[in-house]
Amino acid sequence: MSGKTYDAIIVGGGHNGLTTAAYLAKAGLDVVVVEKNAFVGGAAVSLELHQGWVYSNCSYVCSMMRQSIHRDLDLTRHGLILVPYLGTVNFGDDGQTLIDYPNEEAAHLELKRHSPHDADSMHRFQADLGRYAQFIRKTLLRTPPDPTSIRPRDIRELLFLGKQIWSLGEREMYEYVRFFTMSAADFLEDYFENDLIKAAMASPGIIGTALGVYSPGSAYILLHHVMGDVDGNIGAWGLARGGMGAISEAIASAAREHGAEIRTDAGVAQILVKEGKAAGVALENGDELSARIVVSNLDAKRTFTRVMDKKDLPPGIYEKAKNFKIRGSSGKVNIALDGLPRFTGVPDNRYINRGGQGFTGSLETMERAYDCWKHGRWSEDPFVESVIPSAWDPTVAPPGKHWMSNFVQYCPPRLAEGPWTPEERDAFGQAVVDKIERYSPGFKDLIVHMEIRTPHELEQEVGLTEGNIFQGELTIDQLLFNRPFPGYAQYRMPVRNLYMCGSSTHPGGGVSSACGANAAREILMDLKRPNTVPEDDFYDE
Amino acid sequence: MLVLESADTVGGLAGSREFHDGFNVPVAHSVNHFSQKIANDLDLAKHGFPASGKSLPAIGLSADGSHVVVQGNQVLGVDTSDAEAFPRFMAQMQRFATALKPFWLKTIPRAAPGKLLDMATFARIGLKLRLLGKEEMREFMRIATLPARDLVDEKFEDERLKAMLCWDGLIGSKMAPRSPNNAILPMLYRMSGGCAGEPCQLIEALHASARAAGAEIRTGATVDRVLVRADQEGLRAHGVILAGGEQIEADRVISSADPQTTFIRLVGIEHLEIQFTNRIRRLRSDGQVAKLHLALSGLPEFTGLNQPNGRMLIAPEMDAIEFAFDHAKYGECTTSPVMEIVIPSLADSSLAPEGQHVLSAHVMYAPYRLKGGWSDAACETLRENAIDTIARYAPGIRELIKHSELLTPADLERRYHLTGGHWHHTEYALDQLLMMRPTYEAAQYSTPLPGLYLCGAGCHPGGDLTGGPGHNAAQEILR
């Protein structure tokens, strides 16, 4: 090792890694981010994979981004513009459509057309979910306590959580327990009777997770519906103008402005440990960089089983990392279109042909797609959730042309017969296109370019183990003080001077920057530097 | 003290029933963890329940005769690495089970503001776990909600062994090895130890003990309604009305029926507050287990097994359980059922005529809400599939069958007045356990209707033959 010693090396330039870098640099530290790809952003990127189309080829919508970070890092000045998008159409298995109009009264009438009972229940459902989300939102920019510890800070944080729970009152407390442990299907059963409405509401409960809507624990994931906000608009979903890469670029720009160095095409071969302390990294090109601390933005499994030497780890850690649940379950098909597709049974309205589309008509269809995943197959009748960002953001496709992002659940990381082959990948993409064609005759003829991504591609390109989009399953055994492992949930890892800042840590996946910000706060505390990370601002409803 | 039982004999699901000339069997076919404390309190040994303390070995059947046998902390028939890992795994699970054990026989208090003193019970649970050590407590917090599959996948290689271990977390519930959240606590509950023995003997001993203590027991007496009257203080349970119209007055009515039967049918929703009623209505109580009874002219021979003396599991791999469950999710019945088989007549020869035997099997998954309903044809199909499945492991069994009977969850509901035909009265799920079982306001054995109490499996600690709910209810009532 030669040359200078950095204060901190961030391994991996995903949005969380960049966030950590920005806050450490803001505190005056000498920081370098090393990223294996030629571009930063990890899974929040915009790439030109077909001439004229620059699109988010992985993560595609934005709602979890912490507003306080957005403002604190002045990301708008660094070029980030979030555009809320409105209106979603859900297509039933029987030719029915369910349209979520931006106009509240129209939306209510539309629900009523399917089920008057459900139209009434919707208010109760939205209010309940909103309350549950509010609770989680309060924990996002906080470090989870260690319940086994008696350090004042842990006790304080535990009391904070306890107080939040206690203040709910008895009845609410039990409703929360129910919501956080039950299945999405059972939860929706309490409110709705119509299959299509249930399916429309359930979709966030399965995205990215290797669970089905019938699996206990999936109700909690429904919160992704309402947990986020777009610039203070709670529950709204948005697109980043110019694609998700705009988020990463803005954070990177903020980090650079504060003095951080960002190196691309610099994949890390190994995290170096000297005398039991993380001391630097060896790059794939042979260079070595040294630093006082190393922060891994990689997922927990990759960090401990791929870029670290087992002998550098305390006993048991390698096994913990091996058992860390990080299961690929999602695929994506990005389609460049010659024009805006038309959908059967959908009136030509300036919102609804352009917002999102859900192509799954019942919980049973969703669950059956999950069953296929268990068998190591993709579903012939997959769960597809789509959005046409080019209808809202003219920068992502040439004039008059469009880009459609299709998120597919479920797609196994390996097939029962073995690893993915290009032929099978194409067949998987074809199943998705065939499904859309059913609702949009002539759709196939509009296709000018198609990029099919299975968990295999996601792992190869972004580096997410098994292609899990959340860097680890969001189940209770891997949430809060259990994330990534019990005892190591406070961003400090079992090797001294090693930290983690990716979605494998609390609060988990989603483009929120919360993991990165929390990690920075802990690091600054250890280095006895003033904190630069803002508190979250949330609203009491 | 008067006990009213609708059937002609006591015991409910654990009571023995003649299903064919001279052949008897209870629905619940083994006692594995009846509370030792209750057995001592009630002097059950004197009344004829010779608790051995040693439960039947579990035998994971293989069609080729290479079985896996689990007895206590030892396992036979697996590779050395699994055989060595097994006692370690069991010891750790036992430590967790032991830490939790005292709380199965305690009322779990309401977590209500203003009841801070009651919170001592929760503090004690926390302390018990913390006393296991930091690492152990952390491990407990991690595994408490794991799917059974993830837990055993971390420790073992052998699919048969893994399927067997999953079984004890799942049996009777609407879940499969991959289902998160609700498998590990029941597993630990079943590992907490206690008396093992024969259900019929247990029921007879309990019956005798209750009579000796002065309780009057009337069978064939179906309760139609709980008698509710209003006085100055509001509504109150004052007794019951029997199906024949007979009215029996009492200061307290204690229901061992499931919560939905108790509140909706016996009390009536007109006597309850609407939010409470809604919570009772939405309890998840769909049974998933069918019961197969075979009257056999001789002892069946299982390939590779000297004596079919154990809890025999037909679940060759975890996926066999998972995929059987996948059908049940959609209200279909699997064609490849998984099951637990016992031949109770080996331990208790009075169940069958001399030299003959009874085979008792829990068959999963048979959904209560079968699409199209449980028609005769549907029952017949499941029965044949189940027998065919057994015949793969005991090839000569068909020739021994004198009579067979299949009880679907719908039959169990009809016969035992058991909502959904659910063994545990209502699902084992985190939100329906502890101070939430069956729902808050009725989880400390008293109910919103003064004078009415619960004492069945729908209360903490839940189902299986443990005596826990009855014990805890008595404790609360006496307090």
Segment A295-315 shows an average pLDDT of: 97
CA-based nearest residue in chain B for residue A166? B113
**Is A162 an 8 Å CB contact of chain B?**
no
**Is A482 an 8 Å CB contact of chain B?**
yes
For residue A538, name the pLDDT band (cuts at 50, 70, 90). low
Give the closest-approach CA distance of A520 to chain B in angstroms.
25
HEC profile for A173-234? HHHHHHHHHCEHHHHHHCCCCCHHHHHHHHHHHCCCCCCCCCCECHHHHHHHHCCCEECCEE
The domain that contains B19 carries what CATH number? 3.90.660
Q: Please report whether residue B404 resides in a domain.
A: yes
Chain A (24-63) residues lying within 8 Å, Cβ to Cβ, of chain B = none
**Pair type for strands A88-91 and A356-358:** parallel
* Cα distances (angstroms) measured from residue A522 to each of A128, A158, A500: 33, 17, 10
Q: Please report whether residue B62 resides in a domain.
A: no
State the pLDDT at residue A225.
62
pTM of the shown model: 0.95
State the pLDDT at residue A133.
87
**Is A379 an 8 Å CB contact of chain B?**
no
Report which of residues B120 and A30 the model is more confident about.
A30
Helix (H, G, I), strand (E, B) or coil at B111: coil
Q: What is the per-residue pLDDT across B298-346, written as a single tens digit (0 to 9) for each?
A: 999 999 999 999 999 999 999 999 999 999 999 999 999 999 999 999 9
Segment A384-398 shows an average pLDDT of: 93
**Is B281 an 8 Å CB contact of chain A?**
no
Q: Which two tokens stand for residue A43?
A: 């899974």
In DSSP terms, A10 is beta-bridged to A33, A295
Contact A485 B142 (CB under 8 A): yes
CA-based nearest residue in chain B for residue A488? B138
CB nearest A215 (choices: B139, B142, B179): B179
**Is the pLDDT at A1 greater than 70, yes or no?**
no
How far the first Cα of chain B sits from its last, in Å, is 17
**Is the pLDDT at A309 greater than 60, yes or no?**
yes
Mean pLDDT rounded to a whole number for chain A = 93
Q: How many domains does chain B have?
A: 1
Q: B102 Cβ partners below 8 Å, 6+ apart?
A: B128
Percent of chain A exceeding pLDDT 70 equals 96
Give DSSP secondary structure letters for A270-309.
EEEEETTEEEEEEETTS-EEEEEEEEE-S-HHHHHHTSS-
Instruction: Give the C-alpha separation, A46 to A60, whole Å.
Output: 9
Instruction: Give the C-alpha separation, A268 to A309, whole Å.
Output: 13
Q: Please report whether residue B70 resides in a domain.
A: no
Count helices and strands in chain B by DSSP H and E runs: 15, 19
**Is the pLDDT at A391 greater than 50, yes or no?**
yes
**Neighboring chain B residues of A182 at a CB cutoff of 8 Å:** 429, 431
For residue A101, name the pLDDT band (cuts at 50, 70, 90). confident
Tell me the residue ranges of DSSP E strands in B335-433. Answer: 338-342, 357-364, 401-407
Q: Which two tokens stand for residue B222?
A: 């179906």
Give the closest-approach CA distance of A169 to chain B in angstroms.
7
Q: B404 is in which domain, residue-wise?
A: 12-38+41-52+196-202+285-416
Residue A478 contacts residue A485 (beta carbons within 8 Å): no
State the pLDDT at residue A86.
79
Mean pLDDT rounded to a whole number for chain B = 95
**Neighboring chain A residues of B149 at a CB cutoff of 8 Å:** none
Instruction: Give the C-alpha separation, A271 to A278, whole Å.
Output: 7
**Is the pLDDT at B275 greater than 90, yes or no?**
yes
**Is A430 an 8 Å CB contact of chain B?**
no
Residues constituting chain A = 541
In DSSP terms, A263 is beta-bridged to A34
Give the residue among A239, A284, A249, A268 at the shortest CA–CA distance from A404: A239
Instruction: Give the C-alpha separation, A288 to B436, whole Å.
Output: 57
* Cα distances (angstroms) measured from residue A76 to each of A26, A250, A274, A296, A538: 17, 8, 41, 27, 20
Q: Please report whether residue B305 resides in a domain.
A: yes
**Is the pLDDT at A99 greater than 60, yes or no?**
yes
* Cα distances (angstroms) measured from residue A270 to each of A216, A283, A306, A312, B383: 38, 7, 8, 11, 59
Report which of residues A84 and A228 the model is more confident about.
A84
CA of residue A523 relative to chain centroid, distance: 23
**Neighboring chain A residues of B436 at a CB cutoff of 8 Å:** 174, 177-178
Q: What is the per-residue pLDDT across A168-226, written as a single tens digit (0 to 9) for each?
A: 888 898 999 999 999 999 999 999 999 999 999 998 778 889 999 999 999 988 886 67
Q: Please report whether residue B59 resides in a domain.
A: no
Residue B197 contacts residue B51 (beta carbons within 8 Å): yes
- CA angle, corner B224, sides to B218 and B226, nearest 5? 95
For residue A541, name the pLDDT band (cuts at 50, 70, 90). very low
Give the closest-approach CA distance of B426 to chain A in angstroms.
14
Residue B106 contacts residue B121 (beta carbons within 8 Å): yes
Q: What is the per-residue pLDDT across B153-208, written as a single tens digit (0 to 9) for each?
A: 999 999 999 999 999 999 999 999 999 999 999 999 999 888 999 999 999 999 99
**Is A186 an 8 Å CB contact of chain B?**
yes
Q: What is the per-residue pLDDT across B37-95, written as a single tens digit (0 to 9) for each?
A: 999 999 999 999 987 767 889 999 999 999 999 998 999 999 999 999 999 999 999 99
Segment A263-278 shows an average pLDDT of: 97
Residues constituting chain B = 479
Contact A374 B178 (CB under 8 A): yes
Give the closest-approach CA distance of B102 to chain A in angstroms.
21
**Is the pLDDT at A302 greater than 50, yes or no?**
yes
State the pLDDT at residue A2.
54
CB nearest B142 (choices: A178, A215, A482): A482
Contact A477 B138 (CB under 8 A): no
* Cα distances (angstroms) measured from residue B175 to each of A479, B156, B178, B187, B286: 22, 21, 8, 13, 11
Q: Please report whether residue B334 resides in a domain.
A: yes
Type of residue numbered A50: H
**Pair type for strands B216-218 and B2-4:** parallel
**Is the pLDDT at A127 greater than 50, yes or no?**
yes
Type of residue numbered B175: M
**Is the pLDDT at B232 greater than 70, yes or no?**
yes
Q: What is the per-residue pLDDT across B398-427, written as a single tens digit (0 to 9) for each?
A: 999 999 999 999 999 999 999 999 999 999
